[in-house]
Chain A
Amino acid sequence: MAELPSALALGQSLRNHTCSARELTESFLAEIDRREPELHAFLTVSREEALAAADDADRRLAAGEPLSPLDGVPFAVKDNLCTKNVRTTCASRALEHFVPPYDATAVSRLRAAGCVMLGKTNLDEFAMGCDTGSSAFGPTRHPLDPARVPGGSSGGSAAAVASWEAPLALGSDTGGSVRQPAALCGVVGLRPTYGRISRSGLTGFAPSFDQVGLLARTPADCAALLALTAGFDPLDATSARRPAESFADQLEAGVRGLRIALLQEGLDEAGPAVRRSTERAAACLESLGARVEPLSLPFLREMLPAYHILTAAEASSNLARFDGVRYGLRAPGAGWRESIRESRSAGFGMEVKRRILLGTFVLEKEQRDACFSRAQRLRRRTAADLREALGRFDLVLLPTAPETAWRWEEERDPLALYRSDLFTVPAAIAGLPAVSVPFGEENGLPIGVQFMGRAWEEALLLRAARTLLQEV
């Protein structure tokens, strides 16, 4: 991997006219053609649109007027982010033929920066899952071993970046959907602070948790991608009014003097290889001048059920719009009630139905206090605890996923799958930023470690990630 150029380096060679954006785009499209039959990272490849965008970039580059450091550089988009005139399915039968008339804000900002969209990547249906296995259009395979899972739900985006089908990708992270596949595939995955990147055009699953996430090969690429996508958007009332930042100024500043917490529960709950990598990362940071101290957050385990109750509740509401009345799959029925029922029965897969049923249940009057309201209180309390801990530390170090990519043949029940979110849910519960960075491996499979930080401190996260990656 180390020999592969970064997206920023590609941008530089375009500005140096070492190659053209068309050539670059064609080479990625060729790689997609070569790898896709096995990988299935993409649901839609927008070849013609990509080449047209590349030609536009070449005209700007020839005139010496690039729009950004990534002008002409290709990227891939998770298929739950709307793309104007390009099919957006959310990996669901319900939206199999849905073509949005608008771009998600994150997508339109990258287009405005001259980036070239290659196509739409696979995911768990409506981003509900952690192995990309619940896609209605078939799973994505791990780039290093097709018998294994790539993680999820942004498994297509992670696999595309890991296999160099695309140098950059957009994903979405509700409870770890960017960081966990990044860890399993061996790329950098950033979940920014809630409100940092507009959610407009992201087909939400749990809006109070959803955040557009970024996948790249290097922290510097992540910083560049974040600088282009972040910022207030009048179309999203939860996007934050924060001034523009570079995120890259401090990347090389190292970790000397930083107070880093090593999460005890992170070590306890991880598999042996993941535990060893995390401890090695801690030692490495300490040797570079960081003050690493153990931290215990006993409430960590309580977050998981709270997370699943709250996200299911929001999902049951957010997915109510897919009734087949105005767009999407419509099944016939005698009368509207039956048509809506049949459309939803035919449109949604098992995992989606499971969460809708769970979410519907926990919001009903009889259970509401015991389930939903209690989970809300738990969220508020644990988020406050986490923020309190981050008052004493600059960063928290913990594994990203308890284990490396598992085999498809290992049948897993939903509860076992939910458990793989254990380390990624805390940042999501509290709306805090977190980054997964490849560090170590087990039998050739990548391991990711994770930094969790204070709100709006993505620059610090990327700086720690950059420092650690240099030591690999």
Chain B
Amino acid sequence: MGENRNRPAASYETVIGLETHIALKTETKAFCSCAVTFGAEPNTHCCPVCLGMPGALPVLNEKAVEYAAKAGLLLHCRVSLVSHMDRKQYFYPDLPKGYQISQDDEPLCTDGWLEIPAAGGGKKRVRIERIHLEEDAGKLIHTAEGTLIDCNRCGVPLIEIVTKPDFRSAEEVVAYLQELREIIRFAGLSDCRMNEGSLRCDVNLSLRPRGSEELGERAELKNLNSFQFAAKAIAFEEERQAAVLASGGTLFPETRGFCEETGETYAMRRKESQDDYRFLPEPDLPPVVLTQDQIDRWRSELPEPPAERRARYESEYGLSHETAALLTVSRAAADRFEEAAARTPWARQLANLLAADPERLEAGIPVAAQSLAELAALLGEGSVGAAAARRILDEMWAHGGDPREIAARLGLLKLSDRASLLPFAEQAVAANGRAAADFRAGKTAALQALLGDVMRRSHGRADPAAARALLLELLGG
């Protein structure tokens, strides 16, 4: 993706639009009460409705509508008070009914935007054309004996987010996908895992001579299973199309796959003038009718976007940008952190403590806010050290409990009273005769060795200030 202006692509402008499919994290499927799962035993979460059995009828999951509308609100879309479902018809073995329930001419959400960092600094606004609700198809599993079908995914609710052709580079596409993934995930609407297929993106790419306003013939790139692969596919396709155009060839609309091994795109099928899915208004489902109150309520339930939270954490709690980013990995984690931070003056200490083990934050923090606040106080007031605080947090994470009680039970509280510290200090002076002598001779730096020995002997529990004072007393006589 280097910006080498000598490539054929340099004389053309890249124009990209994205179609992104996101699987919604509802408990049940879009049109029946089967559980939405990932990685379950094949065909254990399906019923007559999602298998397309005779006479089985779809009933719309209201949660799916809510999640789709919330995604629309996050992307600044207009949410329609009335939309309807349509049947998109084609035959495929993984499509049980012979049609996909989707939305054609009256989608749930229209006319939104999402801002991404612009190439030269500042922000660039990517326009969202529409977001519609639809159902997923099953999964084909190819084996040596034949092809098997897993219908667990049939009927899982999806949103398809269609942008205007506003991208000019792979970097912009990746920035958009990262931003999109973060806000959708943060709102708890989807896991957005590309490797599990809960975020899938098709890239529509065409080239045009720089300065032209017309769109060229586009290729639709599929099977892009990571952001990196999307970027690679775009880079390859830019060069391929540019080479065709530069050599006087013509491009035609087609669907192309991406080979992860070679990093190249390959022709899958040529698009006929336009594919005809013979859309039919879904007669089994009444129109989707929302009230303004409903939409307003959903808007009020949306979380503060993660980017805004990060900025606030930095200014309010004095967190580093990195720590703020780690805490905003999920809404659950950020919310719990904020709850705890509101109860303690030691919010920054708590943040750093939580951020020390970032992997586990995504699923949320299974420790009560009050306990977190008390732990922060132990650390902030110096009753426990940083390592001890991490052990206490681990313990609470796994088994719950009161931080002070855990500290006492595991012997993690600092020793600062004279009676406890005296044996360690005396042993240190006795065992380090040379250092003691040096100190008395005026080499103040020798105290450090003695202090280190006290810490070792107390297994780190000695309060350094108290131990230091005691050593000075012993040595000073």
- Asked if A365 meets B274 with Cβ closer than 8 Å, knowing A102-B48, A207-B284, the reply is yes
- The answer to whether the Cβ of A321 comes within 8 Å of any Cβ in the partner chain is yes
- Asked if A317 meets B57 with Cβ closer than 8 Å, knowing A101-B48, A207-B284, A238-B284, the reply is no
- The answer to whether the Cβ of A204 comes within 8 Å of any Cβ in the partner chain is yes
- The answer to whether the Cβ of A364 comes within 8 Å of any Cβ in the partner chain is yes
- The answer to whether the Cβ of A206 comes within 8 Å of any Cβ in the partner chain is yes
Contact of A314 among B48, B59, B280 (CB under 8 A): B280
Q: Are B55 and A363 in contact (CB under 8 A)?
A: no
- Asked if A82 meets B99 with Cβ closer than 8 Å, knowing A314-B280, A364-B278, A365-B274, the reply is no
Number of A-B contacts (CB under 8 A): 100
The winner among A90, A202, A238, A360 for most chain B CB atoms within 10 A is A238
Q: Are A321 and B54 in contact (CB under 8 A)?
A: yes
Which residues on A sit within 8 Å (CB–CB) of B51? 326
Nearest Cβ in chain B — how far from A371, in angstroms?
A: 12
Question: Chain B interface secondary structure, helix, strand, loop or mixed?
Answer: loop
Which residues on B sit within 8 Å (CB–CB) of A327? 53
Nearest Cβ in chain B — how far from A44, in angstroms?
A: 15
Q: Are A98 and B54 in contact (CB under 8 A)?
A: yes
Which residues on A sit within 8 Å (CB–CB) of B87? 317
CA gap between A327 and B97 in the complex, in Å: 12
Q: Are A200 and B54 in contact (CB under 8 A)?
A: no
Contact of B280 among A234, A235, A313, A323 (CB under 8 A): A313
CA gap between A98 and B54 in the complex, in Å: 10
Which residues on A sit within 8 Å (CB–CB) of B96? 321, 325-326
- The answer to whether the Cβ of A320 comes within 8 Å of any Cβ in the partner chain is yes
Nearest Cβ in chain A — how far from B342, in angstroms?
A: 43
Which residues on A sit within 8 Å (CB–CB) of B91? 320, 323, 337, 340
Nearest Cβ in chain B — how far from A100, in angstroms?
A: 7
- Asked if A207 meets B283 with Cβ closer than 8 Å, knowing A317-B87, A325-B149, the reply is yes
Q: Are B276 and A365 in contact (CB under 8 A)?
A: yes
Which residues on A sit within 8 Å (CB–CB) of B284? 204, 207, 237-238
CA gap between A340 and B2 in the complex, in Å: 48
Which residues on B sit within 8 Å (CB–CB) of A104? 55
- Asked if A202 meets B55 with Cβ closer than 8 Å, knowing A317-B87, A337-B91, A364-B276, the reply is yes
CA gap between A200 and B96 in the complex, in Å: 17
Residue of B nearest to A365 (CB): B276
CA gap between A127 and B380 in the complex, in Å: 78
Q: Are A237 and B286 in contact (CB under 8 A)?
A: yes
- The answer to whether the Cβ of B188 comes within 8 Å of any Cβ in the partner chain is no
- The answer to whether the Cβ of B60 comes within 8 Å of any Cβ in the partner chain is yes
Chain B 95-133, CB-CB to A under 8 Å as 1, else 0, gives 011110000000000000000000000000000000000
CA gap between A377 and B60 in the complex, in Å: 26
CA gap between A341 and B309 in the complex, in Å: 56
Which residues on B sit within 8 Å (CB–CB) of A33? none
Q: Are A363 and B278 in contact (CB under 8 A)?
A: yes
- The answer to whether the Cβ of A203 comes within 8 Å of any Cβ in the partner chain is yes
- The answer to whether the Cβ of B10 comes within 8 Å of any Cβ in the partner chain is no
CA gap between A102 and B53 in the complex, in Å: 10
Q: Are B57 and A321 in contact (CB under 8 A)?
A: no
Q: Are A90 and B59 in contact (CB under 8 A)?
A: no
Nearest Cβ in chain A — how far from B297, in angstroms?
A: 23
Residue of B nearest to A366 (CB): B276
Q: Are A326 and B52 in contact (CB under 8 A)?
A: yes
Contact of A204 among B52, B55, B60, B279 (CB under 8 A): B55
Chain A 309-329, CB-CB to B under 8 Å as 1, else 0, gives 000011011011101011100
Question: Chain A interface secondary structure, helix, strand, loop or mixed?
Answer: loop
Nearest Cβ in chain A — how far from B290, in angstroms?
A: 16
- The answer to whether the Cβ of A39 comes within 8 Å of any Cβ in the partner chain is no
CA gap between A176 and B183 in the complex, in Å: 53
Which residues on B sit within 8 Å (CB–CB) of A320? 89, 91, 97-99
Which residues on A sit within 8 Å (CB–CB) of B303? none
Which residues on A sit within 8 Å (CB–CB) of B54? 82, 88, 90, 95, 98, 100, 203, 321
Contact of A317 among B53, B89, B274 (CB under 8 A): B89
CA gap between A90 and B55 in the complex, in Å: 11
Contact of A235 among B59, B274, B279 (CB under 8 A): B59
Which residues on A sit within 8 Å (CB–CB) of B358? none
CA gap between A364 and B89 in the complex, in Å: 11
Chain A 73-115, CB-CB to B under 8 Å as 1, else 0, gives 0000000111000001010000100101110100000000000
Q: Are B98 and A321 in contact (CB under 8 A)?
A: yes
State which residues 364-422 of B face A: CB under 8 Å. none
- The answer to whether the Cβ of A355 comes within 8 Å of any Cβ in the partner chain is no
Which residues on B sit within 8 Å (CB–CB) of A365? 274, 276
- The answer to whether the Cβ of B58 comes within 8 Å of any Cβ in the partner chain is yes
Which residues on B sit within 8 Å (CB–CB) of A102? 48, 53, 56
- The answer to whether the Cβ of B285 comes within 8 Å of any Cβ in the partner chain is yes
CA gap between A325 and B48 in the complex, in Å: 14
State which residues 208-265 of A face B: CB under 8 Å. 208, 234-238
Chain B 255-289, CB-CB to A under 8 Å as 1, else 0, gives 00000000000000000001010111001111000
- The answer to whether the Cβ of B93 comes within 8 Å of any Cβ in the partner chain is yes
CA gap between A206 and B56 in the complex, in Å: 14
Contact of B60 among A236, A237, A317 (CB under 8 A): A237
Chain A 150-183, CB-CB to B under 8 Å as 1, else 0, gives 0000000000000000000000000000000000
Residue of B nearest to A207 (CB): B283
Q: Are A237 and B58 in contact (CB under 8 A)?
A: yes
Residue of A nearest to B273 (CB): A365
The winner among B53, B57, B87, B151 for most chain A CB atoms within 10 A is B57
Q: Are A360 and B57 in contact (CB under 8 A)?
A: no
- Asked if A317 meets B99 with Cβ closer than 8 Å, knowing A326-B52, A337-B91, the reply is yes
Nearest Cβ in chain A — how far from B312, in angstroms?
A: 43
- The answer to whether the Cβ of A139 comes within 8 Å of any Cβ in the partner chain is no
CA gap between A363 and B281 in the complex, in Å: 11
Q: Are A235 and B93 in contact (CB under 8 A)?
A: no
Which residues on B sit within 8 Å (CB–CB) of A235? 57, 59
A-B complex: 4 closest residue pairs judged by Cβ atoms: A320-B98, A208-B283, A363-B278, A207-B283
5 A–B pairs (Cβ distance < 8 Å), ordered by A? A203-B55, A234-B59, A237-B60, A314-B280, A326-B149
Given contacts A80-B55, A98-B54, A319-B98, 17 further A-B contacts (CB under 8 A): A82-B55, A88-B54, A200-B57, A201-B56, A202-B55, A207-B57, A236-B59, A237-B285, A238-B285, A314-B283, A320-B89, A320-B98, A321-B53, A326-B51, A326-B149, A336-B93, A363-B280
